[in-house]
Amino acid sequence: MTPPPAAAQRAASVRATRAPSPRVGAKRPPLRILEPRPRGRGRGRLLRLMSATVVVGSLLAVVIAHSMLAQGQVRLTAAQAQMSAEQAVHRQLLAAVAEAENPAQIVREAKKLNLVPPRYVTQLPAVPLTTPIGQTTTPTTVPTGTSSSNSSANTSTAAGQSAAAGR
């Protein structure tokens, strides 16, 4: 089957009116309806630059905050070590004070210094903090070696003590 003569003529006329292929001839400039906006590319660059700046800045802020936290932890560790050392010294000093306050230790030191026990021991009364300063209470005196139930010794020494306090 051959094509009708009219269709063959039409195909030949279309081929004849067609321009040569652009690949073969000179290059044509690209077709444009509007000129490109030069500011469009600058905005994209600016947006990318701002995004990168924000990301780098936030990472830098995280690094700085982390280093500050680490420095605080180092200072805290040093302070805790110093505090535990001071607590150990405090415990040793408390033990030394408790040993020095021991009555047996006091008597031993007094004997080393050739001190003698007193004849009378004066017991000071307990005074509440609400008592005015001008108000006085009488101390009781107990001779060493006797019990506090001996009232005659208490009255005689109390009179001597009040006379001595009046001087």
pLDDT tens figures, 112-130: 999 988 788 888 888 888 8
* 133 within 8 A of 121, measured Cβ to Cβ: no
3-state class (DSSP) for residue 143: strand
Q: Given this model, what pLDDT does residue 151 score?
A: 45
SS3 125: coil
Give the model's pLDDT for residue 32.
Answer: 76
Amino acid at 16: A
Q: How far apart are CA 72 and CA 79, in angstroms?
A: 10
- pLDDT for position 132: 83
User: How is residue 120 annotated by DSSP?
Assistant: E
> Which pLDDT score is estimated for 67?
98
Residue type, 91: R
Average pLDDT over residues 42-52: 87
Place of tokens 């400039």: 29
- Give me the pLDDT at residue 128, please: 85
Please give the pLDDT value at position 134. 76
| Position 155 pLDDT exceeds 50 | no
- What mean pLDDT is reported for the chain? 77
Give Cα separations from 70 to 39, 58, 65, 74, 79 (angstroms). Answer: 46, 18, 9, 6, 14
Q: State the pLDDT at residue 91.
A: 97
Confidence of residue 13 (pLDDT cuts 50, 70, 90): low
Q: Please determine, for residue 159, whether its predicted confidence score (pLDDT) is greater than 50.
A: no
The answer to whether the beta carbons of residues 142 and 123 sit under 8 Å apart is yes
* Residue 152 CA to its chain's centroid (Å): 67
End-to-end CA gap in the chain: 159
Residue type, 87: Q
Please report how the helices 103-112 and 38-101 are oriented relative to each other, as an axis angle in degrees rounded to 10: 60
Cβ contacts of 120 within 8 Å, gap of 6 or more: 141, 142, 143, 144, 157
The DSSP symbol for 26 reads: P
